[in-house]
Amino acid sequence: MPRTNLKKRKNRLSKILSFLKNEYPNAKCHLNFDNALELLIGSILSAQCTDKRVNMVTPDLFEKYQNAYDFSKADIDVLKEDIRSTGFFNNKAKAIIACTKMLCEKHDGVVPDTIEELVKLRGVGRKTANVIIGNYHGKPGIIVDTHIGRLARRLWLTDNKDPVKVESDMREIVPEEDCTFFSNALGDHGRTVCKSRIPLCGECKISDICPSFREFN
């Protein structure tokens, strides 16, 4: 169970959310995309890879493969070379082809708009599913990546390490209309200030309400 009760977690969340809206008002997904399929492919490629690197690869990739049917029929060895620089290209190429084949067979090539259907696709977990429903479909998405999980624990919004449980804890306290923004903005704070090894507590504007402040100072 979280170290503080639900009421205290909600109160702390309210202050954190106000800070995020002031500090990161334009927070959004860092992957470049024009449609749900491009966001899906980009999210698969982003595993163990920076969004910046993915964005360097995807313009040519999306010009070459313009829909799910194109990806599903791709020569796997050619696709591996197309995405090599993103790392783990063998598994990613297999996942992309398998995923898009399922899209073509079960969804007429259209990316689903529910977490339940998205997670049935090869290479798609809850993190990627939430990225898509939140940043493309405009539904409440709690995106639990390494940054979100780390900050949620440091801020005592959860005690859990399992991403599914962290997501559940966040959905308890984050207003639905703020879920996607909260995820994107907290992720930005984790990248720029509350870093993994040495958080920049002296630069953090919410250090006064952070229960972990004393651990690093």
pLDDT in tens, 157-183: 999 999 999 999 999 999 999 999 999
Quote the CATH superfamily of domain 36-135: Hypothetical protein; domain 2 (1.10.340.30)
At 35 the pLDDT is: 97
| Domain boundaries of the chain, sorted by first residue | 6-28+141-212, 36-135
Rounded to two decimals, the pTM is 0.92
Fold observed for domain 6-28+141-212: Endonuclease Iii, domain 2 (1.10.1670)
> Which letter does DSSP use for residue 112 in this model?
P
> Which residues are known catalytic residues?
127, 145
Tens digit of pLDDT for each residue in 47-72?
999 999 999 999 999 999 999 999 99
